[in-house]
């Protein structure tokens, strides 16, 4: 198996499964195909026919995951729109932002009279009006006919993996990643391109001049990269062992869709092959559809509900909390080292300092080892926090790995002298993040923890995944993060859900976090000007904003600069670290060390005896308010 590109194998085998189980036409009907939105970020729409093609009646509708489009559909992505579409004739189409295309053919047909399914040719013909697409279709097959037509020429393939990208008004580039394809210019010139090769098409309508270049054609990374699809569909490899599962129901279960696939044209084109039979469309759809279950039970919270929740809370003044006697989350939650007395003392100090909330990392490994005891200890912490006037944000997963070791339940090593947060381990282990065979236990953990506390007023909101993609995992964490949202939504908790954006704010993973979260959460350790710029960007979502982690005194990210900013923008917040202890957050990390102030505390607010590191900071916490009238 070609482990380096599982997408190609998926496309190769999905064609077989889809022919057998997906298209499912009525007896005697033309076996038409469809393109299903399997994953997306940002804004994308589709123009579909609402009646027979010859009548020309169309409408524009918003796309969402699970939406299915057919032949003659015109797909359009916005500035931040990205799509991954699974085509039932046997390919995956990745659509970049600011792209417009029309599916000319999506069907199983034949040259002459077919005697069996083996005689059917799977046709995917796309007219690319602008922008760029990636096609993943696997090993070439004589029964697969793929064409991508541009203004300057056409790409023809019987499989392969390739990119077609507009470069300027009159130029189009073609990059062949695997196998081979043909490029035909407007003047009929043809060239064969092998894996690793590239071609450039040119056509001037004014001059009626066409050119095809295949020598010394540079591959432009910004045109070649398809961030969302590269990550998301590499994770579909489990289907290769169960190709019959990749029918509509199988794909829907994999995606965790709350509703079945939705045919965007309402069946308008099913019998359009007949010149006589022109039935009325039986399904009336609104011009725009939300993502499945938006604003409904089990779905993303609507804006009105979310703002009502946020405004009745008052300012959230929080801290990311680990007791001073714990070196990491495992030591915090294990039965033998769970230190309720210290927590009681420290949360009392936090209450006097003005904190109204704490954000706490849970531990999948401790739950796995002792689920009942773990839940009892979580309940105990909630009670202690409530006693001292704080609500709790439980964090279910975490990719932060400072120790470079897998999480193991049991006695934890002592902190490395003079080193910041030296024993922090992720949860779950990186191996579990990418291994779907381990996910059933992760699902059970998420659902069991959330089900116990889903109506508990002591829980402020659920943070599903801290720094997803950290410690070198990158976007390998995206599928697990996405699935965690699905598991969490199924619980229908009374508290909102969030995953904080923390890195690469223009990337697919961040877009996915923000689109699936109820409230907008982010982490910001930059200087105040950068954080403010980020806030202006995040305000576009028109949802409450919480900064779930901040404080880096040596860079100017401190209480004097950040709290006024949060006040003006009405941002709830959680600074990093409460009491100096075994995590040693007060020690500056080497990469952020200040030569001018090497002894300045990086993080933590209180000394080990509960006294403030800086009295003024406590005064600022106690006095923090949202700027009046700035709603």
Is the pLDDT reported for residue 119 higher than 60? no
- Give the pLDDT band of residue 389 (cuts 50, 70, 90): very high
Query: Which pTM value belongs to this model?
Result: 0.67
- What is the average per-residue pLDDT within 272-282? 28
Percent helix, strand and coil across the chain, each to the nearest 5: 30, 25, 45
pLDDT at 259: 52
Q: Check residue 548 and give its pLDDT.
A: 98
pLDDT confidence tier of residue 8, bands split at 50, 70 and 90: very low
Residue pLDDT, tens place only, 571-592: 999 999 999 999 999 999 999 9
What is the band of 26 on the pLDDT scale with cuts at 50, 70, 90?
very low
> Are 71 and 47 in contact, with CB atoms under 8 Å apart?
no
Q: Are residues 235 and 347 in the same domain?
A: no
Residue range 70-110, pLDDT digits in tens = 888 999 999 989 998 888 767 889 999 999 999 998 876 65
Q: Would you tell me how many other CB atoms lie within 10 Å of the CB of residue 171?
A: 17
Crossing angle between the packed helical segments 340-353 and 615-623, to the nearest 10 degrees? 70
Same domain for 144 and 84 = yes
**HSE-up (13 A, CA, CB side) for residue 111:** 6
Residue 565 Cα distances to 320, 463, 529, 531, 534, angstroms: 19, 23, 10, 9, 12
Q: What is the mean pLDDT of residues 219-237?
A: 71
Same domain, 543 and 594: yes
Q: Are 318 and 393 in contact (CB under 8 A)?
A: yes
What pLDDT is attached to residue 108?
A: 66
- 245 pLDDT more than 70: no
Q: Are residues 338 and 240 in the same domain?
A: no
Q: In this model, does residue 237 exceed pLDDT 80?
A: no
Residue 244 has pLDDT above 70, yes or no: no
The reply to whether 110 and 247 lie within a common domain is yes
CA-CA distances (angstroms) from residue 223 to 41, 95, 162, 173?
18, 11, 12, 9
Q: Kindly state whether residue 334 falls inside one of the protein's structural domains.
A: yes
Between CA 126 and CA 95 the distance in angstroms is 12
pLDDT at 63 over 60: yes
pLDDT at 586: 98
DSSP 232-296: HGGGGGGGGG-GGG-SHHHHHHHHT-SS--EETTTTTTTTTT-SS--PPPS----S--PSTTTTS
Q: pLDDT tens digits for 455-482?
A: 999 999 999 999 998 988 888 899 999 9
Task: Answer yes or no: is 135 within a domain.
Answer: yes
Range in 7-11, 213-217, 299-303 the model is least confident about: 7-11
**Does residue 130 sit in the same domain as residue 235?**
yes
Task: Estimate to the nearest angstrom the gap between the alpha carbon of 509 and the chain centroid.
Answer: 4
Whether residues 240 and 323 fall in one domain: no
Q: What is the mean pLDDT of residues 36-46?
A: 88
Identify the residue with better confidence: 617 or 50. 617
- Mean pLDDT over 186-193 rounds to 95
What three-state secondary structure class fits 47? strand
Question: Averaged over 135-150, what is the pLDDT?
Answer: 89
**pLDDT of 466:** 97
What would you report as the CA-atom Rg of the chain, rounded to the nearest whole angstrom?
Answer: 27
Q: Is 485 contained in some domain?
A: yes
CATH number at residue 189: 2.60.120.1440
> What is the rounded average pLDDT of the residues 160-178?
94
| pLDDT for residue 249 | 56
Higher pLDDT, 408 or 113: 408
Strands (E), 434-570: 462-466, 497-498, 520-523, 545-550
Domain-ending residue, one of 206, 241, 263: 263
Structure tokens at 141: 């097959």
Domain CATH for 374: 3.20.20.80
Under 8 Å between Cβ of 47 and 23: no
* Residue-level pLDDT at 525: 94
**Average of per-residue pLDDT across 309-323:** 97
- For residues 308 and 257, membership in a common domain is answered with no
pLDDT surpassing 50 at residue 225: yes
Whether the pLDDT of residue 289 is over 70: the answer is no
The parent domain of residue 241 ranges over: 6-263
**So what's the pLDDT on residue 628?**
75
More confident residue, 410 or 80: 410
Per-residue pLDDT tens over the stretch 340-384: 999 999 999 999 999 999 999 999 999 999 999 999 999 999 999
Same domain for 255 and 307? no
In a domain, 295, yes or no: no
Q: Is the pLDDT of residue 25 over 60?
A: no
Q: How far apart are CA 626 and CA 614, in angstroms?
A: 22
Instruction: Please check whether residue 278 lies inside any domain of the structure.
Output: no
**Claim to verify: residue 251 and residue 362 sit in the same structural domain:** no
Q: Would you place residue 241 in the very low, low, confident or very high pLDDT band (cuts 50, 70, 90)?
A: very low
- Domain assignment present for residue 296? The answer is no
| Helix pair 508-516, 478-491: axis angle to 10 deg | 0
Residue 182 and residue 212: Cα distance in Å, rounded? 12
The per-residue pLDDT of the chain, averaged, comes to: 84
Higher pLDDT, 238 or 275: 238
pLDDT over 70 (residue 297): no
Note the pLDDT of residue 243.
33
Residues in the chain: 631
Q: Are residues 179 and 328 in the same domain?
A: no
Of 91 and 607, more confident: 607
pLDDT at residue 272 in the model: 29
Cα separation of 33 and 51, whole Å? 18
In a domain, 498, yes or no: yes
Identify the domain boundary among 202, 232, 263: 263
Query: Does 153 reside within a domain?
Result: yes
Task: With CA atoms as reference, report the closest residue to 152 among 126, 129, 136.
Answer: 129
Instruction: Tell which of 263, 286, 320 closes a domain.
Output: 263
What is the pLDDT, as a whole number, of residue 631? 56
Per-residue model confidence (pLDDT) at position 270: 34
Q: What is the mean pLDDT of residues 258-279?
A: 41
Provide the pLDDT for residue 461.
98
**Contacts for 428 with CB less than 8 Å, ≥ 6 apart:** 364, 365, 397, 407, 438, 442
The answer on 320 and 250 residing in a single domain is no
Containing H/E element for 12? helix 6-21
Query: Could you tell me the two tokens for 390?
Result: 């704080």
Number of domains observed in the structure of the chain: 2
């Amino acid at each position: 198996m070609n482990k380096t590109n599982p997408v190609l194998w998926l496309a190769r085998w999905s064609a077989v499964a889809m022919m057998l189980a997906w298209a499912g036409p009525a007896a005697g009907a033309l076996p038409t195909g469809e393109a299903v939105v399997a994953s997306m970020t940002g804004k994308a729409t589709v123009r579909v026919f609402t009646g027979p093609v010859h009548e020309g009646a169309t409408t524009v509708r918003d796309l969402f995951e699970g939406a299915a489009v057919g032949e003659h559909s015109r797909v359009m992505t916005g500035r931040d729109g990205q799509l991954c579409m699974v085509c039932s004739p046997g390919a995956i189409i990745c659509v970049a932002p600011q792209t417009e295309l029309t599916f000319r053919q999506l069907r199983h047909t034949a040259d002459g009279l077919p005697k069996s399914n083996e005689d059917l040719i799977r046709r995917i013909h796309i007219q690319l009006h602008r922008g760029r697409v990636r096609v993943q279709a696997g090993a070439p097959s004589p029964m697969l006919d793929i064409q991508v037509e541009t203004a300057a020429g056409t790409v023809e393939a019987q499989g392969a993996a390739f990119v077609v990208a507009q470069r300027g008004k009159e130029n189009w580039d073609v990059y062949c990643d695997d196998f081979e394809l043909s490029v035909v210019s407007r003047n009929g010139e043809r060239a064969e391109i092998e894996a690793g090769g590239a071609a450039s098409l040119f056509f001037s309508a004014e001059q009626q001049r066409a050119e095809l270049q295949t020598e010394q054609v540079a591959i432009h990374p910004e045109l070649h990269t398809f961030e969302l699809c590269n990550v998301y569909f590499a994770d579909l490899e489990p289907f290769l062992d169960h190709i019959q599962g990749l029918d509509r129901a199988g794909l829907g279960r994999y995606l965790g869709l709350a509703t079945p696939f939705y045919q965007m044209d309402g069946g308008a084109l099913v019998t359009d092959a007949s010149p006589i039979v022109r039935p009325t469309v039986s399904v009336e759809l609104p011009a725009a559809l939300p993502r499945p279950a938006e604003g409904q039970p089990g779905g993303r919270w609507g804006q009105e509900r979310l703002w009502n929740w946020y405004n009745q809370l008052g300012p959230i003044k929080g801290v990311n909390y680990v007791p001073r006697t714990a070196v990491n989350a495992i030591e915090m939650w294990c039965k033998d080292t769970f230190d309720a007395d210290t927590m009681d003392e420290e949360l009392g100090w936090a209450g006097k300092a003005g904190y109204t909330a704490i954000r706490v990392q849970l531990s999948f490994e401790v739950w796995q080892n002792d689920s009942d005891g773990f839940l009892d200890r979580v309940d105990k912490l909630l009670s202690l926090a409530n006693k001292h006037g704080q609500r709790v944000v439980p964090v279910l997963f975490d990719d932060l790995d400072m120790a470079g070791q897998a999480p193991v339940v049991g006695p934890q090593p002592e902190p490395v002298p003079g080193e910041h947060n030296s024993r922090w381990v992720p949860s779950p282990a990186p191996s579990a993040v990418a291994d779907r065979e381990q996910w059933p236990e992760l699902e059970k953990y998420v659902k069991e923890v959330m089900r116990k506390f889903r109506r508990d007023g002591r829980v402020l909101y659920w943070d599903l995944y801290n720094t997803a993609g950290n410690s070198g995992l990158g976007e390998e964490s995206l599928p697990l993060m996405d699935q965690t949202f699905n598991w969490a939504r199924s619980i229908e908790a009374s508290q909102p859900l969030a995953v904080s954006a923390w890195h690469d704010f223009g990337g697919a993973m961040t877009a996915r976090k923000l689109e699936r979260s109820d409230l907008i959460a982010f982490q910001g350790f930059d200087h105040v000007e950068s954080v403010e710029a980020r806030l202006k960007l995040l305000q576009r979502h028109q949802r409450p904003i919480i900064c779930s982690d901040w404080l880096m005194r040596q860079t100017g990210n401190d209480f004097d600069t950040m709290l006024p900013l949060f006040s003006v923008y009405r941002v709830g917040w959680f600074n990093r670290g409460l009491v100096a202890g075994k995590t040693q957050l007060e020690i500056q990390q080497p990469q952020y060390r200040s030569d001018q102030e090497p002894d300045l505390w990086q993080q933590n607010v209180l000394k080990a005896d509960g006294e403030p590191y800086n009295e003024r900071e406590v005064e600022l916490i106690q006095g923090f308010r949202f700027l009046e009238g700035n709603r």
